[in-house]
Amino acid sequence: MARIAASGSSCSTIQVTFDHTDFVAGEKVIGNIPVNGRIHATQLIVSHVFDGGSVNVGDDIIQGHLLSAAENDLTLVETYEVGRGTLFTAQTTAKMYFNGAPTKGDGSVIVYIG
């Protein structure tokens, strides 16, 4: 899926898959957002439902900065998308933060960077 940034240029992406076993670690790295990287959208895709737990997508400063647990529901097969237009002035590591202890479920996260 190609996305077009406001300037008309294509976005790059960082992405990761996750499943219920990742919840034990508490967090998972998605990838690095470069200096002056603007986030055009963050998608969380639930491929197979989870039987509990929650996920925030963000960074070590604000765990739900890109997509908060209130903006997704892991008990539904669905694609959740948030577009905040956040600009990062320093290189930042995007991460997933897990709460709970589900015994099933998997999905992926894609961050679109312009």
Q: Is residue 59 assigned to a domain?
A: yes
Q: Is residue 53 assigned to a domain?
A: yes
- Residue 8: per-residue pLDDT: 53
- Residue 25: per-residue pLDDT: 97
Q: Is residue 112 assigned to a domain?
A: no
Q: State if pTM tops 0.85.
A: yes
Asked if residue 102 lies in contact with residue 23, where contact means CB atoms within 8 angstroms, the answer is: yes
Overall average pLDDT of the 9-20 stretch: 91
Q: Is residue 111 assigned to a domain?
A: no
Q: How confident is the model at residue 10 (pLDDT cuts 50, 70, 90)?
A: confident
What total of structural domains would you count in the chain?
1
User: Looking at residue 103, what DSSP letter applies?
Assistant: S
* pLDDT tens digits, one per residue of 49-82: 999 999 999 999 999 999 999 999 999 999 999 9
